[in-house]
Structure 1
Amino acid sequence: MSVLQRYTRSLVIAHMASTLFMVGMIWTIHYVHYPLFAHVGESTYIAFQSEHVNRIGKLLLLPWLIEGITLLGVLILAFLGNRRDLRLPAFLNGVGMAIALVISGVWSAPAHGDLADGFDAAIHDRLMTANLVRTLAWTLSGVCAVWILARVWSSEIRNSRITAES
């Protein structure tokens, strides 16, 4: 196996692992955590919201950074390197990540800022709606990350068969 093949394999495994971690987290946040915001008592909500933002940021920073860096690597392989077969899944993965980033910056972070002053049902509803779109976008990214890995592995299997037959 060449150095490029090992690099490609390591890159797409790291990308898939970080992306699927983020997909699992966003579904947990959307289905479990955000709905519970409405059930936190008024007297403790501000402290709860502050702790949520602080803790979730620390938890997600590294995997989100790894996901972004590895996606850049996959996009480089697909569009500037020799892996043209990765172009469609890498592009769609990039679209999913771009949607998640825009929603995080334009809707989610400001909503958390507004909720820092206390629970507001209308703001919470907007957060839930925006987060559903973000969750679906991240799910698209997860599907694409698996697709990318499947393409890389299938080409490695194909190449090893060709080499064995030679």
Structure 2
Amino acid sequence: MAHLLLVGAYAGFQWTVRALVYPQFTAVPADASAAYERSHSQRISRVVGPLFAGQLVTTGWLLLDRPEGVRLLGVVASAVCLAAVLAVTALLAVPRHRQLTDGFDAAAYAGLLRADSLRVAAATANAAVSAWAVLG
């Protein structure tokens, strides 16, 4: 259940970022956008860091020591979804955030939104496959 709670919390978090947080980036005045991005990155890491760590722990635990009734295929699919989220974050989202620390850049922002759409899809899929894996 801890795994399902964590992947569900992350999916909700990711949808919130995509629907509420990132659209606000365009409302920040140009002369304040670099500071806004730096503040955003610092604050968001306090939320996403524990969610990532928790998912890594519970996914690893389920892969290594699956309790009775947990579907292995669902756990493997969950691990793939988590790997996709982490890869997209590291390879696409973080570099776009770094570009935005220099000030608002429309191309970097568009790239961030594309990356975030991938994370939303993977996080949502993770919630679904984890529910199937854990709840049966």
TM bin, normalised by shorter chain, reads over 0.9
Question: Are the equivalent residues in 2 in contact too, given 1:97–1:138 (CA < 8 A)?
Answer: yes
Question: Are the equivalent residues in 1 in contact too, given 2:77–2:126 (CA < 8 A)?
Answer: yes
Unpaired segments ≥5 residues, structure 1? 1-12, 152-166
Rounded Cα–Cα distance in structure 1 between residues aligned with 2:70 and 2:44: 35
Question: Are the equivalent residues in 2 in contact too, given 1:77–1:83 (CA < 8 A)?
Answer: no
**RMSD over equivalenced CA pairs, Å:** 1.4
* Residue 104 of structure 2: aligned partner: 119
* Residue 32 of structure 1: aligned partner: 20
Shift of 1:100: 0.4
The number of aligned residues is 136
Q: Does 2:113 align with 1:128?
A: yes
Shift of 1:63: 2.1
Rounded Cα–Cα distance in structure 1 between residues aligned with 2:51 and 2:87: 18
TM-score (norm 2): 0.94
Partner SS for 2:109: helix
1:86-137 Cα offsets, whole Å, 9 max, x none, are: 1111111111111101000000011100100000011100110111011100
Shift of 1:32: 1.2
More RCO (CA 8 Å, sep 6+) = 2
* Residue 141 of structure 1: aligned partner: 126
Rounded Cα–Cα distance in structure 1 between residues aligned with 2:112 and 2:122: 15
TM-score (norm 1): 0.77
Unpaired segments ≥5 residues, structure 2? none
Moved over 3 A (4+): 82-85
CA radius of gyration, larger in: 1
Partner SS for 1:123: helix
Question: Are the equivalent residues in 2 in contact too, given 1:23–1:139 (CA < 8 A)?
Answer: yes
Question: Percent sequence identity over matched residues?
Answer: 25
1:33-90 Cα offsets, whole Å, 9 max, x none, are: 1111111111211111011000000112112211110011111134xxx758511111
Question: Are the equivalent residues in 1 in contact too, given 2:70–2:135 (CA < 8 A)?
Answer: no
